Structures are given as C-alpha cells and as structure tokens.
Amino acid sequence: MARFIFVTGGVVSSLGKGLSSASLAYLLQSRGYKVRLRKLDPYLNIDPGTMSPFQHGEVYVTDDGAETDLDLGHYERFSGVSAKRSDNITTGMIYNDVLKKERKGKYLGKTVQVIPHITDRIKEFIKNDSSKEDFVICEIGGIVGDIESLPFVEAIRQFANDIEKKNALFIHLTLVPYLKSSDEIKTKPTQHSVKELRSIGIQPDIIICRSERPIPLEHRKKISLFCNVDIKNVIETVDVKTIYEAPISFFKEKLDLQVLNYFRLKSKRPVNLTPWKKITKIILKNKKQVNIALIGKYVELKDAYKSLDEALTHGGIKNNVKINLLRIDSEKLKVSEIKSKLRNISGILIPGGFGKRGTEGKIEAIKFARMNNIPFLGICYGMQMAIIEFARNKLKLKKATSSEFDKKGLHIIGLINEWTKDGKKIKGTDKDLGGTMRLGSYDAKLKENSKIKKIYKKNIIKERHRHRYEVNIAYKQKFEKNGMEFSGLSPDGELPEIIELRNHPWFIGVQFHPEFKSRPLAPHPLFSSFIKASKNHK
Ligand code: GLN
C-alpha cells in the first residue's frame, strides 16, 4: 500500500507548496521510490478551465485531457511523471459528484452532509489509483484556516486514522518572516498557524519554514518546542535563485531523509543531484542573452504563462543562453510602435489565447516577424493568428478571420463543425463553455522534408491540445502554393496541426501546446530549436 504525505500551507499563500511537493517527489524517486503527486483545490469551479488566467494563472492540460491547476506542471517538470485527470480535484467536482448521486437517490433517504458524504468522496479521491505507488504526495490548496479548505483538512485527518497514522505524514509549510526594522526573525505566525491546524486535529510531523534568510538554531528550537515537532523536522527553505535549485536545497536540509525516517524506510540508492546542479549552474552563470518577445494578453501576471516561461528557460539551458523575456501586452501594442519595440528582439512568440482583444497587435507583430526573417513561434492562438496574417497579407484574402471573434468575414479559422459534414467528428460546441474543447494528447503526422520533422526527428508526435477552433483544411493548397506549408496534420489528414514558412529561417506555428511537455531535464525540441534559431539571429 502507498504511504500518503499531505502538504498543507499556513500564514500566507504562494509560499511554494507545489514546488516543495515536487522537489520532495524528485528526491524520493531518486532514492528509488515510486511517487505520485496530487492537488486538492478548495474552489467551487469544477476545474480551472473557465477561469481567467488573471484569476488563477495558467490552466495546465494533462495527456488525458484534464484542465488542471498549474502546480501539476511543477509536478511533471520535477518528477517526470505525467499527471492524470485523477490527480487534481476541486471542491466543485466533489460537490458535483455528491449532488448527482443525491439526485439519483443513492444515499437511501439519508441527510447528505459535509461530514461524512463530502469528506468520504475526498478520501476516495485521495486513495483512488494509488496501489502501485510507494508514496502519494497530496497538496492541499489555500491555507489552513480558510473556510473553504476545511472539508479537505478534515478529510485528511480522517484519512490518516483510516489507514493508520504511521502510513500518513503531515507536512506544514509556513512563513517565518524577517522584520527589517527590528532585524528579527519571527516565529509567531508559524506557531499560530500550527495552532490552527491542531485545532482541527492535525499535528504536523514536519514543518517547512519559508524564510528570506537562514533561520538560526534558537528560532528553530522555539518552533520545535511550541509546535511540538522534533527539531530535526523543522526544515528551512530559504529563497532560491532559480526554482531548479529547490531539490538541492531540500536535500541539504534532509527533508527526504526525515520523510523516510518517519516511515522507517531506508534509501534504496543515493540521491542524484547532478542534473539539477548542472542546470542551475547554466542558468545562473550564463552571460550570453537572447531577447525573446512574448506578445500576449495576460503578460501582467507571470503565472499566466508559467509552462511557457519554463519551456523557454529549458530551451535556453539546451543552448547555453539566458532568456531575456520581454513581455508585451498585445492590447497595448500599437502598429506604429512595432518596429521600435521589436528592434532588438531575436525571437517572437505568440502564445495561446482567447477572444478578440489584442488580435490586431499580434497579427502585425507576426507580419513583422515574417517580413524581417525573425524567428517566430506561434502557439495555438498564435498559429491561428499567423494563418490569418498570411491569408490577409500574402494571399490577399482581406476578410480572412476566425469565427471566434468575427461572425461575418471569411472563416479560415472556425469551429470544426462549421465545415465538417461527416457527423462523426462534430464537436458539441454550442453547449456550455466548460469542457467543450479539444483537450489532451493527440497524434500529428509530420511531413517529409519539413523543418518540423528535422526538429522532432519523428514521423508521428503526440502533443497536448486545448482549443475550440481549427484551421480550415480546405485552404491547404492555396497556402502551400504561396509558401506556407501545412507540415503537420492529424492522422486522418483533416486538421492542420503545424504550419511553417518555406522561405524563412524559422517560422513555425503549432495548434497544440508543446510547453506542457517540456522538462528541465529534457528540454522540448521545439523550444530548443526556436532558441537556437533566435540565438543565431543577427
Ligand atoms: N481561442 C483559440 C481556440 O479556442 C485558441 C485557444 C488557445 O490558444 N489555447 O481555438
């Protein structure tokens, strides 16, 4: 049976529970154990798919097509294990399940309550599909003390009893602030947060203290004493310069060793930190920079393009360069400013997006990249905009547009069922907005002698999708005759998946999201190639 590690947070959010969980997963894996990571989110949305990136950051998509919390991206990047739909659950999902069951009369006339019905469903989720794992690390979103996370905290308390406490470990991540004015480190918020946790019946086994500066022994002792935790289990995590240093720093603090000690397990082999040391060194020491412009709608919030940021960094690691990312708000990008704003840019990236706002700026920037031989990568919406730009300016189809934002015009991009007569493939796009997209991993067949095939070195690739609209295959010939190849198609040849320009050093658009599959220890070939081209761009 798997052992369960529960990670809760205290004092404030955004302390890096996801990163701590992911780093711990790597360390345990490296010691020879099989680990799975899960996230329990306390909000009422069924999934984050309908939330604006400004609200919740990026929506991370799994192979099996779930729209999940961005922490699952951290999990995959650090552990290398592909997350599944069953690895992210929200309060909304739990209530949805329970209420559906209630309507069907499955509770046999009982009063349906938070305890036991909601907590039972949470416990089922935690345990589901875990029999082959040595460890399941479950991160609870939000912080202890929030009204909305209460049922989750109650459920993990019960769960630990159900499986016997020796098979469950509670880790609490809190903030240990440093006060500049008095030059002091404060342990009180941690004490209060642990008190809060204990009031619900959970005594943490390990406390991870997030701090700006190293925590002196006397303060650790104080935390140990007041929070009733062995001093060896008071672990500090001081801000790191790059997130990829986190496994190294947790190893130094013996987090993984203390976890094994708790479960009375031995390490099966020594931890291998060499890959993290190598990439940390590259990231921190690299002097040579490559200027990349990211032109999108959500640039103000860093987390909105989390996986993309990471994938670019990975491309930089592969090419020994530092990525200097210039985030440009597509809504504010005036046509007259494009030349000056993109003057020192060596690569232009248009990410995924939704809706009309900011499209004209993007289209103009794409034109600039196409005409000036600047390496260009268009992702999902970025590819769709590249298609519109080419249709308007090269094919002279002035009315070319997407039905996503213009109901009239010439729909080169549209909902697939607007032009597919074959009943089989029609998607139910006129239903609710949630859960009506082409989601998850799909195959694409790459064209012989194309640039993309040289990059992937494969005939068939698998990449993750998240979109409602597609490029109309009917225009393929017209585009190809004029220099834009449809160099990747769905296996049935009906959906354009990749486009590239024949007479351009590096101009590629992809309908999928390659960023979700890039990992620091295995940079994605498309990003490596994009950064290489940008590095070589004069
Ligand atoms: N809005 C576009 C669509 O739904 C693109 C989505 C995206 O970029 N992820 O097709």
**pLDDT tens readout for residues 272-330:** 999 999 999 988 888 899 999 999 988 888 889 999 999 999 999 999 999 999 999 99
Distance 330 CA to ligand 1 centre (A): 16
Query: What mean pLDDT do residues 113-124 have?
Result: 96
> What local confidence, expressed as pLDDT, does residue 428 receive?
46
Q: How many CB atoms lie within 10 A of CB 195?
A: 14
E-state strands within 212-273: 234-238
3-state secondary structure of 429: coil
Q: How far apart are CA 247 and CA 78, in angstroms?
A: 9
Which one of 51, 402, 418, 466 would you pick to mutate in the ligand 1 pocket, going by the greatest count of ligand atoms within 8 A of its CB?
466
Q: Whose CA is nearest to atom 8 of ligand 1?
A: 352
Specify whether 292 is located in the same domain as 162.
Answer: no
Specify whether 506 is located in the same domain as 530.
Answer: yes
Query: What mean pLDDT do residues 67-83 have?
Result: 94
Q: Which residue has the higher pLDDT, 334 or 199?
A: 199
Distance 531 CA to ligand 1 centre (A): 24
Q: How far apart are CA 234 and CA 214, in angstroms?
A: 12
Active site residue ranges: 380, 513, 515
Q: Kindly state the tokens that stand for 286.
A: 């690299």
For residues 287 and 322, the answer to whether their CB atoms sit within 8 Å is: yes
Give the nearest ligand 1 atom to 382 CA: 8
Structural domain boundaries enclosing 507: 286-536
Under the banding of pLDDT at 50, 70 and 90, the label for residue 195 is: very high
Specify whether 173 is located in the same domain as 312.
Answer: no
CATH code, 521: 3.40.50.880
Q: Whose CA is nearest to atom 9 of ligand 1?
A: 352
Whether 424 has a pLDDT exceeding 60, the answer reads no
Strands of the sheet containing 410-415, edge to edge, are 400-402, 410-415, 469-471
**What's the chain's average pLDDT?**
92
Residue 56: which of 75, 73, 70 has the closest Cα?
70
Whether 434 has a pLDDT exceeding 60, the answer reads no
Distance 370 CA to ligand 1 centre (A): 22
Specify whether 350 is located in the same domain as 237.
Answer: no
Q: How far apart are CA 469 and CA 176, in angstroms?
A: 47
Q: Which of 162-171, 281-290, 340-349 has the lowest mean pLDDT?
A: 281-290
> What local confidence, expressed as pLDDT, does residue 436 receive?
67
- Beta bridge pairs of residue 67: 61
Give the nearest ligand 1 atom to 468 CA: 4
Specify whether 203 is located in the same domain as 227.
Answer: yes
Specify whether 57 is located in the same domain as 81.
Answer: yes
Q: Whose CA is nearest to atom 7 of ligand 1?
A: 352
Q: How far is CA 521 from CA 38, 190, 274, 280, in A?
A: 21, 34, 11, 11
Specify whether 324 is located in the same domain as 264.
Answer: no
Q: Cα-flanking dihedrals φ and ψ of residue 9, to 5°?
A: -125, 155
For residues 4 and 133, the answer to whether their CB atoms sit within 8 Å is: no
Q: At what angle do helices 119-127 and 91-103 cross, to 10 degrees?
A: 110
Give the nearest ligand 1 atom to 469 CA: 10
Distance 174 CA to ligand 1 centre (A): 37
Specify whether 488 is located in the same domain as 529.
Answer: yes
Q: Whose CA is nearest to atom 6 of ligand 1?
A: 467
The residues, any chain, with a CB within 8 Å of residue 17's CB and separated by 6 or more, are 7, 8, 9, 71, 139, 173
Q: Kindly state the tokens that stand for 282.
A: 């590259």
Q: Which of 246, 277, 308 is the last residue before a domain boundary? A: 277
Q: Whose CA is nearest to atom 5 of ligand 1?
A: 381
The residues, any chain, with a CB within 8 Å of residue 20's CB and separated by 6 or more, are 7, 171, 173, 208, 237, 246, 250
pLDDT in tens, 206-218: 999 999 999 999 9
CA atoms lying within 13 Å on the CB side of residue 215: 28
Which one of 469, 472, 516 would you pick to mutate in the ligand 1 pocket, going by the greatest count of ligand atoms within 8 A of its CB?
469
Specify whether 298 is located in the same domain as 189.
Answer: no
Q: Is 513 exposed, middle or buried (0-12, 13-18, 19+ CB in 10 A)?
A: buried
User: CA 94, 99, 103: angle at the middle one, nearest 5?
Assistant: 155
As for ligand 1, residues whose beta carbon falls within 6 Å of it are 352-354, 380-381, 404, 466-469
Q: Whose CA is nearest to atom 3 of ligand 1?
A: 467
User: CA 491, 310, 295: angle at the middle one, nearest 5?
Assistant: 80
- Tell me: cis bond preceding 514? Omega within 30 of 0 counts: no
Q: Cα-flanking dihedrals φ and ψ of residue 41, to 5°?
A: -100, 130
DSSP state of 357: T
DSSP per position, 74-102: HHHHHH-PPP-GGGEEEHHHHHHHHHHHH
pLDDT in tens, 484-500: 999 999 998 989 999 99
Distance 52 CA to ligand 1 centre (A): 13
For residues 177 and 186, the answer to whether their CB atoms sit within 8 Å is: yes
Distance 472 CA to ligand 1 centre (A): 14
> What local confidence, expressed as pLDDT, does residue 433 receive?
52
Q: Which of 233, 257, 277 is the last residue before a domain boundary? A: 277
Q: What's the first-to-final CA gap in the chain, in angstroms?
A: 57
Q: Is 268 exposed, middle or buried (0-12, 13-18, 19+ CB in 10 A)?
A: exposed
Distance 533 CA to ligand 1 centre (A): 26
For residues 70 and 19, the answer to whether their CB atoms sit within 8 Å is: no
Give the nearest ligand 1 atom to 513 CA: 9
Whether 350 has a pLDDT exceeding 60, the answer reads yes
DSSP state of 215: P
Specify whether 334 is located in the same domain as 295.
Answer: yes
Specify whether 326 is located in the same domain as 363.
Answer: yes
Which one of 439, 467, 470, 513 would you pick to mutate in the ligand 1 pocket, going by the greatest count of ligand atoms within 8 A of its CB?
467
Under the banding of pLDDT at 50, 70 and 90, the label for residue 508 is: very high
3-state secondary structure of 132: coil
What's the total number of domains in the chain? 2
Q: Kindly state the tokens that stand for 41.
A: 């989110």
Q: Which of 224, 256, 277 is the last residue before a domain boundary? A: 277
Distance 427 CA to ligand 1 centre (A): 15
> What local confidence, expressed as pLDDT, does residue 420 receive?
40
Which one of 67, 384, 442 would you pick to mutate in the ligand 1 pocket, going by the greatest count of ligand atoms within 8 A of its CB?
384
Tell me the residue type at 514.
Answer: P
Specify whether 216 is located in the same domain as 341.
Answer: no
Percentage of residues of the chain with pLDDT beyond 90 = 80
Query: What mean pLDDT do residues 155-176 have?
Result: 97
Give the nearest ligand 1 atom to 352 CA: 8
Token pair 């607007």 is found at 418
Query: What mean pLDDT do residues 249-275 have?
Result: 97
Under the banding of pLDDT at 50, 70 and 90, the label for residue 429 is: very low
pLDDT in tens, 448-497: 999 999 999 999 999 999 999 999 999 999 999 999 999 999 998 989 99
CATH code, 209: 3.40.50.300
Under the banding of pLDDT at 50, 70 and 90, the label for residue 419 is: very low
Distance 509 CA to ligand 1 centre (A): 13
